[in-house]
Structure 1
Amino acid sequence: MSDHFVVLGAGFAALTAARTLRSKAPQARITLVAHKAEFVYLPSLIWVPTGVRKSSDLVIDLAPFLHKHRIDFLAAEVTGLQDGGRTVLTTGGPVENDGLIIATGGRFIKKLPGIEHAIALCEGVAAAEKIRERLLAMDSGRIACGFGGNPQEPTAARGGPMFELLFGIDTWLRRQRKRDKVELVFFNASDKPGQRLGERAVTNLLSHMAKRRIDTHLGHKPLRMSPEGVETEGGLVKADLILFMPGMTGPSWTHNSELPRSPGGFIQADAHCAVPGFERVFVAGDAGSYPGPDWLPKQAHMADLQAKAAAENLLLVMQGQPAQHVPKAELVCIVDTVDSGILVFRDENKTIVLPPSRAFTWAKRWFEGKYLKDYRSA
């Protein structure tokens, strides 16, 4: 009887894990468990508010992909684990497995009072469309843009998209001839936001803000949000529109399991993406907390690397061999401004920051098309 592998999620890590398992284990049974059989290309949400992309461009029906790779699908929410991970509890009933990869993603920390007055871009297409609606209706006023973190796990922040959204809105406002009537301000609790990108990148980004006449309110912890703006320890940042990316933590369903969790609330993983104390259970992407440098990114590229390693290690363990694949710690980011892009690359040996170039914007769009081609043409 063939092995049955279960993958939880339908994002970057989940789909890469499922595809890797299928390529290495053609006879295995694979089941994907997620809320919907669709994939949202989150990195391009930055372009929806400025009209470069429509939401429909970024939401992919996974039915062809699942059929091509012979992957079963269960539309359900994960609620917990039993039997040391051999049984996944879901709203669609229990799912037994011989090997499990958890890739259900993280969730945003929404404890800041008044956070309902802000829009978080990476919550999905609805949030991106709401930002676009607000921008189209705005002829004057002030937009405050920022991001938060997880005090217990500094790497659990997603600042890159907010830099891109900020610069993209600035470019769009200029093209609409509204920029002189709409002020932009960037706020953050750190006086050097975006440290995971490296010191040079932070200096470059702040310099870019100054050139674009974007105000900054840095080094002051946000206390609450309201229709008037963002109140911080350093005073009120007035705003008619607040765009804020909260810090991240692990999936809520893990509270109903015995999975080990990091101080920040993520599923604890070892260097091979295995969950300590759980046999044949691995984690990949934003759901996990991994050993590595303090700048280890929560981004799609890293999720793909972790997923591939997790899938390959699971297959080794199934064969009675020790896990040996360790995902390379690597950050690759093009901070897009709609009309140009700043390339940031970082690994454990070097950091590279290249100045704005239109070529990087086109490279980012080319990569989007290349990545989604596998799913659109499945």
Structure 2
Amino acid sequence: MVVSPARNLAAMTHILILGAGFAAVTAARELRRLQPQARITLVAPKPEFVYLPSLIWIPTHLRQGGGLIRPLQPFLQRHRLEFHQAQVSGLADGGRTVLTDRGELKNDALLIATGGRFIRKLPGIEHALTLCEGIAAAEAIRDRLTAMRSGRIAFGFGGNPQEPAAMRGGPMFELLFGVETMLRQQQRREAFTLTFFNPATEPGKRLGDKAVGKILAAMARRRIATHLGHKLVSFSAQGVTTEGGQIDADLILFMPGLTGPQWAENSGLPLSPGGFIQADAYCRVPTAERVFIAGDAGSFPGPDWLPKQAHMAELQARAAAQNLHLALQGHAPTAQPRPELMCIIDTLDSGIMVYRSPQRSMVFPANRLFHWSKKAFEKRYLASLNK
């Protein structure tokens, strides 16, 4: 049998994908479809996928942490992917070498999907619990709530001053409404004071003007106090200090703003003012050859409301994978991810659907169907990892 030079070259091509989250999984599927003969390796600390959107349900006992973890072995086998268990520490040779705590990895093309990290610079931030840090953090919140018989709980989120869109406010709205619903269901609501704080006067503005109004109205109906428009100063065991005063709290639940991964500082790649790896409209790192990026690690052109969420990460991953495939063939990129925000703000027993694109912004009233849809999507997505 005679193997063509093109087929032989494709078989020798080694593509590295950094990460094991939504963007990495989506990119792996797309690249295997486009590059059936290539060697594709995922690099991540563990060969497992954690369904982060459902962390909101751990503190309210709707989910257990173990139920949100899926081993990646079936996915890796199904798509003929290799796995290198390691922590990325940097890049060299313009991205052709990935530095890890378990050796160097060479590649012909690189797709970065490691996610970002939280900015933990405010004094006393150790007194706050951050939901999206993972299952352990969500379980710690659950345990604190379970132990409390009464008290004051402060909920809030911050941003990145250098990159306003680099925030994760949606999960904090969901945690706030979910905890309030749980306390009512447990007939404990009257024993608690809930306060939502944010340095912006219109928190969640990137969801759209209509969404902000509906969210604040929902807080008022649920007798949730608000402390808005004041810069955060510090946290302590007694509560939250802002330039507008003190919020007394026995428990602080806070989501800091996002920045890029720590290893980006040792990558030689261009960084945005907010600390993310710079990308162009094609999810390509403009100063590096055959280096692409998707998800929270990157800074992308687009509207100021461009979300840091799983849905947008998947759209970026598909475009990045398609353009990486074209680059390996010597062609210019053509795929651009459409800017789109799509989320359900869950309240434990209902949900508000929010959609935004450059052309329209829509908010659908609270409906139990949205809550059940969110649960159904989780089940379907986790099942897909075996396909």
TM range (shorter): over 0.9
Q: 3-state SS of the aligned residue for 2:273?
A: coil
Give the counterpart of 1:347 among 353, 357, 362. 357
Q: 1:298 and 2:304 equivalent?
A: no
Q: Secondary structure at the match of 1:166?
A: helix
Q: Does 1:84 align with 2:84?
A: no
The match for 1:334 is 344
Q: CA deviation at 1:25?
A: 1.1
Q: Give RMSD over aligned pairs.
A: 0.6
Work out whether 1:168 is the aligned partner of 2:158: no
2:381 matches 1:374: no
CA distance in 1, matches of 2:26, 2:225: 40
Residue matched to 1:148? 158
Aligned equivalent of 1:213: 223
- 1:149 counterpart letter in structure 2: G
Partner letter of residue 109 of structure 2?
A: G
Corresponding residue number in structure 1 for 2:67: 57
Superposed displacement of residue 370, structure 1: 1.1
Measured in 2, the distance between the counterparts of 1:257 and 1:318 equals: 22
State how many pairs are aligned: 377
Q: Give the secondary-structure state (helix, strand or coil) at the position aligned to 2:103.
A: coil
Q: Runs of 5+ in structure 2 lacking a partner?
A: 1-8
Are positions 1:261 and 2:271 aligned together? yes
Identity %: 63
1:366 counterpart letter in structure 2 = A
Are positions 1:112 and 2:122 aligned together? yes
Secondary structure in structure 2 of the residue aligned to 1:231 = strand
How much has 1:355 moved relative to structure 2? 0.6
Secondary structure of the structure 1 residue equivalent to 2:193: strand
2: CA distance, partners of 1:321 / 1:281: 14
Matched, 1:71 2:101: no
Counterpart of 2:227 in 1: which secondary structure? Answer: strand
Superposed CA offset, 1:212-234 (max 9, x none):
00000001111000010001001
- The answer to whether the 8 Å contact 2:95/2:267 transfers is no
Alpha-carbon distance in 1 for matches of 2:269, 2:199: 31
Separation in 2 of the partners of 1:15 and 1:358? 30
Alignment of 1:155-304 (within 5 A): 155-304=165-314
Q: What amino acid is aligned across from residue 87 of structure 1 in structure 2?
A: T
Report the equivalent of 1:41.
51
- 1 CA distance for matches of 2:65 and 2:15? 32
Q: Deviations over 1:7-46 (max 9, x none)?
A: 0011111111111101111111000000001111110000
Q: What does the per-residue CA deviation read over 1:174-197, in whole Å, with 9 as the maximum and x for residues that have no partner?
A: 011110001100000001000110
Give the match's secondary structure for 1:220: coil
Aligned to 1:125: 135
Q: Any runs of at least 4 consecutive aligned residues in structure 1 with deviations exceeding 2 A, and if so which? A: none
Letter of the aligned partner of 1:61 in structure 2?
P
Query: Normalization by structure 1: what TM-score?
Result: 0.99
> 1:64 is aligned with what amino acid?
P
Q: Which of 42, 46, 52 is matched with 1:32 structurally?
A: 42
Q: Secondary structure at the match of 1:353?
A: strand
Aligned equivalents of 1:80 and 1:110: distance in 2?
A: 21
The 3-state SS of whatever aligns with 2:307 is coil
SS at match of 1:244: strand
SS of residue paired to 1:23: helix
